[in-house]
Amino acid sequence: MFHLLRGAAISRLLVALLVLPPALSACSGPEAVNVYSARQEALIKPLLDRFSAETGIAVNLVTGDGDALLARLRNEGLNSPADLLLTSDAGNLYRAQQANLLQPVTSPALEAAVPAHLRSDEGFWFGLSLRARVLVYAPDRVDPGALSDYAALADPAWRQRICVRSSSNIYNQSMVAGMLATQGAEATENWLEGFVANFARPPQGGDRDQIKAVASGQCDVALVNSYYLGGMLRSDKAEERAAAEQVRLFWPNQAGRGVHINISGAGVTRSAAHPEMARQLIEFLLREDSQQWYAEANNEYPVRPGIAPSTLLQSWGEFRADPLQVSELGRLNAAAVMAMDRANWK
Ligand code: FE
């Protein structure tokens, strides 16, 4: 009797399921994918609009600071409405992965578009754009022939001549993690000691402030992400353009492993209610035309090979980039933070 009833109930349920999907989607409104983005709206929204126009999939965008978005994802857990997390450092993406906030994605299109070292080696996230941590210098006080690799910045010749932002910043943490991965703990700790001893002032401000400090003579060399220089050169603020025009870019480590690089990237959240649409959106962002726009919007380099960077970036010349797997930047983040603390990098 019980079995019969249950059988009948199952049949009714099956009929309902077969009939329901169109009704359900009609009730829940247009399809939408929810994005938590540490990138500013202006750097991403036009592309998201194009994605919606092409696919009919709406995109709801929540923007915020990378750390704040991670905290929010953590608090919301599996109830989070987010389908996709977009951040601007492999270190942040790795943190999200470690906190079990992302799910692995298998996509031949993504694997073909993104070089293996610019995406999670476990499929949890994919690079969307590439940035380099370069040197800027004052050409009236520094002979570029005296510049070479990051290691040389620990030399006493640079005493009180270097500006860099604080060690709490993920870009610096990732750079030191990269050194730990490629040169080991001892060489990195020795370098940190000499490098910190050469600071012209206690770390303060962001990368743009370091460029301004070189321009105003507070220091001779600064360590910054290349797109900040690009952003200042293209700024609508006259004083930002003026400062940027007083400094020059130098590509460090060109005789060695290459300049330290990092990515902005995206991963599908563990909680995603629309994982397929989220994957589609990442694939869209890696399409050739999107890559060109996305990189140019923030003066970055495309991750997808074979796409020319903007004319401004081309004027800085070609460079050798460190081929390190960017997952290592996340894996060694805690060790990097400890080493920077020990070296008293504020
Ligand atoms: Fe930045």
CA of 273 to the centre of ligand 1 (A): 29
Residues near 312 by beta carbon (within 8 Å), at least 6 away in sequence = 230, 233, 234, 299
Do 68 and 141 lie in a common domain? no
Task: State the chain's maximal CA–CA distance in angstroms.
Answer: 94
pLDDT at 239: 97
The span from the CA of 221 to the CA of 320, in Å, is 20
CA of 88 to the centre of ligand 1 (A): 7
Do 248 and 203 lie in a common domain? yes
CA of 225 to the centre of ligand 1 (A): 7
Is residue 53's pLDDT more than 90?
yes
- Within a domain: residue 242? yes
CA of 206 to the centre of ligand 1 (A): 8
- Within a domain: residue 58? yes
At 223-241, the pLDDT tens digits run 999 999 999 999 999 999 9
At 307-338, the pLDDT tens digits run 999 999 999 999 999 999 999 999 999 999 99
Is residue 103's pLDDT more than 80?
yes
pLDDT at 29: 52
Is residue 4's pLDDT more than 70?
no
Do 197 and 281 lie in a common domain? no
CA of 4 to the centre of ligand 1 (A): 64
Per-chain mean pLDDT for the chain: 92
- Reading phi first (left if > 0) and then psi (alpha if -120 to 50, else beta), residue 56 is in left
Do 117 and 40 lie in a common domain? yes
Do 175 and 208 lie in a common domain? yes
CA of 83 to the centre of ligand 1 (A): 23
CA of 205 to the centre of ligand 1 (A): 12
Query: Measuring CA to CA, which residue among 231, 239, 316, 293 is closest to residue 51?
Result: 293
- Within a domain: residue 95? yes
CA of 23 to the centre of ligand 1 (A): 44
- Within a domain: residue 145? yes
CA of 170 to the centre of ligand 1 (A): 10
How many Cα neighbours within 13 Å face the side chain of 9? 6
Range of the domain at 195: 131-259+334-342
- Within a domain: residue 60? yes
Is residue 139's pLDDT more than 70?
yes
In the structure, what pLDDT confidence band is assigned to residue 30 with cuts at 50, 70 and 90?
low
CA of 1 to the centre of ligand 1 (A): 67
CA of 107 to the centre of ligand 1 (A): 28
**At CA 254, angle to CA 234 and CA 293, rounded to 5?**
35
Averaged pLDDT, 98-103: 97
Compute CA 233 distance to the chain's CA centroid, rounded to the nearest angstrom. Answer: 21
CA of 236 to the centre of ligand 1 (A): 18
CA of 51 to the centre of ligand 1 (A): 24
The span from the CA of 77 to the CA of 71, in Å, is 10
Do 26 and 154 lie in a common domain? no
Helical segments of 137-169, H only: none
CA of 27 to the centre of ligand 1 (A): 41
Query: Measuring CA to CA, which residue among 74, 9, 8, 5 is closest to residue 36?
Result: 74
DSSP state of 79: G
At 285-314, the pLDDT tens digits run 999 999 999 999 999 999 999 999 999 999
Do 338 and 209 lie in a common domain? yes
pLDDT at 3: 44
Tally the domains of the chain. Answer: 2
CA of 40 to the centre of ligand 1 (A): 10
- Within a domain: residue 216? yes
Share of the chain above pLDDT 90, in %: 90
Do 194 and 279 lie in a common domain? no
CA of 130 to the centre of ligand 1 (A): 11
Give the torsion sign (CA, 254, 286, 120, 168): positive
pTM over 0.85: yes
Do 176 and 119 lie in a common domain? no
pLDDT at 305: 95
Do 252 and 208 lie in a common domain? yes
The span from the CA of 94 to the CA of 174, in Å, is 11
CATH no. for residue 169? 3.40.190.10
pLDDT at 31: 86
CA of 46 to the centre of ligand 1 (A): 19
Do 170 and 288 lie in a common domain? no
In the structure, what pLDDT confidence band is assigned to residue 2 with cuts at 50, 70 and 90?
very low
- Within a domain: residue 326? no
- Within a domain: residue 143? yes
Do 267 and 125 lie in a common domain? yes
Count of CB atoms within 10 A of residue 112's CB? Answer: 10
At 238-277, the pLDDT tens digits run 999 999 999 999 999 999 999 999 999 999 999 999 999 9
CA of 285 to the centre of ligand 1 (A): 19
CA of 323 to the centre of ligand 1 (A): 21
Q: Are 265 and 254 in contact (CB under 8 A)?
A: no
Is residue 5's pLDDT more than 80?
no
Tokens matching residue 72? 């929010």
Residues near 145 by beta carbon (within 8 Å), at least 6 away in sequence = none
The span from the CA of 224 to the CA of 213, in Å, is 12
